[in-house]
Structure 1
Amino acid sequence: MASDIEIDAMRRALEIARERGSVLPNPTVGCVLLTPEGREISRGATIRHGAHAEVDALRLAGDAARGGTAVVTLEPCNHTGRTGPCSQALIRAGIRRVVFAQADPHVTAAGGADTLRAAGISVEAGILADEVAGMNAAWTFAVTEGRPFVTWKYAATLDGRSAAPDGTSQWITGVEARRDVHRFRAASDAIMVGTGTVLADDPRLTIRDEHDQPVPREEQPLRVVVGDSPIPTAARVLDEAAPSIVISSHDPAAVLAQLAEREVRHVWLEGGPRLAGAFWDAGLIDRVIGYIAPAMLGAGHPAVSGGASTLSDLRPLDITDLTVVGSDIRFIGAPGHSAREDDS
């Protein structure tokens, strides 16, 4: 059974992981190393395309880790990928006890706990597991379902219009909402639009930091343009600020399959109504984040095309968050799996 000291250390490991933020395609992981008496030796967090949390903490601890306890938010990995297996690194360092939260759902990487036990190391699993699972929900979904988690973001007026009749759409929402979008974008590893959006708005599709400055190219999500309409070579989405690809397929499942091959875990879908409608109709949207402006257009383009042909096919959203952001309203929800019941 985990001690109070170990549970407190797990909370610190969670905080460390959250502070590091998204490191997709890796999971967000934090690690705290303790002496046998429970004093903290060092802490680490997984780096994007770099060292895992355990290795980061062991590097800082040096020989002081021998005989100690590793408290880590995810089961130490058991495979060689971009880095070696963390289970073996802990064994070599002389760690005598490992406490972790979430079991690794990745088929290739799982098994670290068994390897540690076979080496005579005491292992405790499941400490604060629900909190860690929530932190890595998109990554966990992707490695278990075999396709990226898809978040559809849209902005619309109260009457559901995402663009005026002439196609103009910048800006429906206020500056606070747009800053909020950048914070959410940063938790994804791909931002997707259709060719229609590129031709209409010429978006850059990059993320910026809290000071409204672009983050380095190596920290930018992959920009994905879907569709077969030619786009100008001078389009900003093709510049050097971030990596970009164009996928000509119109099949949402095929698009996600290509992205899965690139180890994309979380797609941020900002496409226009046709692309969003195609993913919605295919049942391939896992979360919706909508920004509703307190304004009316009365005409123009809807936020989504396609969908239900009759009210009995209405597919509800299970709302998990409702927040005022500046002058706009933001809601977050997950698509329901059945039509709304008739309560008349």
Structure 2
Amino acid sequence: MSIHEKVKSFLSPYYSKETILKDNRPFITLTYAQSLDGKISGKGGKQLRLSCEESMIMTHRLRTYHDGIMVGIGTIINDDPRLTARLLENGEESKINQPQPIILDSELRFPLSAKLLTSNECKSPWIFTSQNCDDEKRKVLEQSGAKVIPIDSDQDGQLSLMHLLSILHNQPFSIKHLMVEGGARIIQSFLRNELIDLLIITIAPVFVGPEAVSATGDNRKTIKENEAENIFPNLESVKYEQLGKDIIMIANIV
């Protein structure tokens, strides 16, 4: 069995016609790669290449099951991703409808040099920002091809995930399957608000160190302090698969 066949066999049961969709928001998959010590990026958010080639193939296949891919502005600034499904077989990437890039950027820091605005391979991004966004920045981004959508903020001053997901689910956006890829703040927000249906974590067999960015907690706090602040959901139907040197964990959220 080829790696592509193995990945399809592993993922496809979770995205069958029997998958139960939500009435008021997209079906949400949260996925990210981490080290053995739970780190997803280097000091200051510096990009880390954690996934091996085989698990990268899995991530790109996973993107084909989704209408949209969401990341935060930090990921755009630090990694400059294309957010496309490329590592497919037999030129399949040219035949599929690529997922829509969706960016959370409350202060419109999105760089005009980003691949999502300059590469012909990428769909133009939808950038969700605050209601009091800078009109001039919005105008420049829209002239560069982005669609900028102001949304409500929550009681903590962060972009309201509930408002965002409701907008995405309905016309004209019609996002029914959403893949959330990070970074850390977005991962924590979706987990704390219990807005995840499926969790897929790639675990790379490396240690990064205490100065790196953790997926779910503040490195400077004790375990008890983090547990008191971070009320995360429980997992069920947990399964594991080895791809190359990495372990993939997949689980439903209770």
Q: Same fold (TM over 0.5)?
A: yes
Which position in structure 1 is the counterpart of 2:113?
A: 234
Which position in structure 1 is the counterpart of 2:38?
A: 160
2:127 aligned with 1:246: yes
- Counterparts of 1:103-118 in structure 2, within 5 Å, are none
- Alpha-carbon separation, structure 2, partners of 1:313 and 1:200: 28
Checking the alignment, whether the CA contact within 8 Å between 2:71 and 2:181 is kept in structure 1 is yes
Which position in structure 2 is the counterpart of 1:302?
A: 214
- Counterparts of 1:135-214 in structure 2, within 5 Å, are 135-138=16-19, 140-142=20-22, 145-211=23-89
Q: Which amino acid aligns with 1:301?
A: V
Percentage identity across paired residues of the two chains = 27
- Alpha-carbon separation, structure 1, partners of 2:21 and 2:46: 35
Shift of the 260–313 alpha-carbon distance from structure 1 to 2, 3 Å rule, reads closer
Deviations 1:271-330 (A, max 9, x none): 201011111111111111000011111221011358964299563222432000100000
Moved over 3 A (4+): 211-214, 305-309, 311-315
Which position in structure 1 is the counterpart of 2:202?
A: 291
Which position in structure 1 is the counterpart of 2:189?
A: 278
| Higher RCO (C-alpha 8 Å, min separation 6) | 2
Unaligned runs of 5+ in 1: 1-17, 23-130, 337-344
- Alpha-carbon separation, structure 2, partners of 1:217 and 1:251: 35
Matched positions, count: 206
- Counterparts of 1:313-332 in structure 2, within 5 Å, are 313=231, 315-332=233-250
Shift of the 165–223 alpha-carbon distance from structure 1 to 2, 3 Å rule, reads same
Q: Which amino acid aligns with 2:188?
A: G
Q: Which amino acid aligns with 2:45?
A: G
Bigger drift between 298-307 and 243-252 goes to 298-307
Deviations 1:6-47 (A, max 9, x none): xxxxxxxxxxxx9xx99xxxxxxxxxxxxxxxxxxxxxxxxx
CA positional deviation for 1:211: 3.6
RMSD (CA atoms): 3.0
Q: Which amino acid aligns with 1:236?
A: K
Checking the alignment, whether the CA contact within 8 Å between 1:185 and 1:207 is kept in structure 2 is yes
- Alpha-carbon separation, structure 2, partners of 1:244 and 1:212: 27
Checking the alignment, whether the CA contact within 8 Å between 2:57 and 2:87 is kept in structure 1 is no
Checking the alignment, whether the CA contact within 8 Å between 1:157 and 1:293 is kept in structure 2 is yes
- Structure 1 length as normaliser, TM-score? 0.54
Checking the alignment, whether the CA contact within 8 Å between 1:147 and 1:265 is kept in structure 2 is yes
Shift of the 264–291 alpha-carbon distance from structure 1 to 2, 3 Å rule, reads same
Checking the alignment, whether the CA contact within 8 Å between 2:73 and 2:104 is kept in structure 1 is yes
Which position in structure 2 is the counterpart of 1:225?
A: 103
Checking the alignment, whether the CA contact within 8 Å between 1:163 and 1:169 is kept in structure 2 is yes
- Alpha-carbon separation, structure 2, partners of 1:165 and 1:279: 23
Which position in structure 2 is the counterpart of 1:260?
A: 169
Look up the SS of the partner of 1:171 in the other structure.
Answer: coil
CA positional deviation for 1:334: 1.6
Shift of the 311–260 alpha-carbon distance from structure 1 to 2, 3 Å rule, reads closer
- Structure 2 length as normaliser, TM-score? 0.72
Q: Which amino acid aligns with 2:31?
A: K
Checking the alignment, whether the CA contact within 8 Å between 2:29 and 2:178 is kept in structure 1 is yes
- Alpha-carbon separation, structure 2, partners of 1:170 and 1:137: 36
Look up the SS of the partner of 1:141 in the other structure.
Answer: coil
- Alpha-carbon separation, structure 2, partners of 1:202 and 1:214: 23
Bigger drift between 255-264 and 324-333 goes to 255-264
Look up the SS of the partner of 1:259 in the other structure.
Answer: helix
Checking the alignment, whether the CA contact within 8 Å between 1:221 and 1:243 is kept in structure 2 is no
